Amino acid sequence: MSSWHAPFSFLGFTGILILGFVYRFIPSMIGHMNVTKRAIPPIQMVKGLLIDKNHLIALLLMMLLMMGQFSVIPYISPFMVSNIGFTEAELPYIYLTGGLASIVSMPLIGKLSDRYGKLRVFKIFIFISLIPIFFLTNLKAVELPVALVVTTLFFITMGGRSIPATTMISAAVEPDNRGSFMSLNTAVQQLSAGLASFISGIVIYRSASGALVNYEKIGYLAIVSSLLCLYVARSLKARS
């Protein structure tokens, strides 16, 4: 058996391998660096982005989306072990099945977004995602295959929400400011995920028997946050 270091070592070595392919096959894109522009201080740049109402709506959408996902995700593994009866050795099945399903579903969702519109597909997957969120956070002791169906649907629908949402958010900014804005958006995404996990950690606790308590309340919080995404997304305007 490998130690807990093995996945991180694998990711590191894989990253080095991929870096070689990137250097070999991805063309250089530094032409824009030859254009003389006045450097804008980072604080001024952020202020310029935040005075735009559409940018704020896009950032709010990202925050709510992360609140609706990462309030639930960090506690899936301990919940499955403590409440559902999974063994530690069975936990990888959750991410194996969810990952394989996402590999198949995400390109299809991208095509659906291009064909039928990002907002329409986003709305559909928001509503569909409420089902696995509810069942996952209210799950009782069940057989392994049943639990894997729920978790796999959860991961599929999370991808189904994120793909059109990310596209809408990137389109909410003028092309000249898109790189700066997406960097800010990434910061908001990470902060929101951390905040969601922090809130969940306050609400959830272990009972005397070791089971996680109040996970269902986190599910309701995720559902409310997801529904708020619908209202915010309708107010977002595409700039490109």
Q: What is the pLDDT of residues 45-83, one digit of tens each?
A: 778 788 889 999 999 999 999 999 999 999 999 999 999
Contacts 24+ apart (CB under 8 A), 185-190: 185/58, 185/59, 185/62, 188/59, 188/62, 188/63, 189/62, 189/66
Q: In whole angstroms, give the CA distance from residue 162 to residue 139.
A: 24
Strand partners, 213: 205
Quick one: pLDDT at residue 211? Answer: 92
- The pTM for the full model equals 0.84
Distance CA 223, CA 202 (A): 18
Taking phi over 0 as left and psi of -120 to 50 as alpha, with beta for the rest, 140 belongs to beta
- Give the pLDDT score at 10: 87
**How many whole angstroms separate alpha carbon 225 and alpha carbon 7?**
32
Q: Across-strand partners of 3?
A: none
Other residues' Cβ atoms within 10 Å of the Cβ of residue 37 = 7
Beta bridge partners of 188: none
- Domain residue ranges in the chain: 42-235
Say whether pLDDT at 39 is over 70: no
Residue-level pLDDT at 34: 60
Asked if the model's pLDDT at residue 32 lies above 60, the reply is no
- Which pair of structure tokens corresponds to residue 124? 């559909």
Q: Do 49 and 177 meet the contact criterion of CB atoms below 8 Å apart?
A: yes
Q: How many residues does the chain have?
A: 240
Rounded average pLDDT over 158-187: 90
* 65: nearest Cα among 203, 190, 216: 190
Question: Among the listed ranges 15-24, 62-71, 96-105, 218-227, which one has the minimum average pLDDT value?
Answer: 15-24
Band of the pLDDT at 38, cuts 50, 70, 90? low
Kindly compute the dihedral angle of the four CA atoms of residues 193, 196, 197, 201, in this order, to the nearest 10 degrees: 170
The band of 36, judged by pLDDT with boundaries at 50, 70 and 90, is low
Supply 139's token pair.
Answer: 């799950």
Average pLDDT, the chain: 90
Classify domain 42-235 at the CATH superfamily level. Answer: MFS general substrate transporter like domains (1.20.1250.20)
Cα 121 from Cα 236, distance rounded (Å): 15
Q: Which long-range contacts (CB under 8 A, 24 or more apart) does 146-153 make?
A: 147/80, 147/84, 147/86, 147/94, 148/93, 148/94, 148/97, 151/76, 151/80, 151/94, 151/97, 151/98, 152/97, 152/98, 152/101
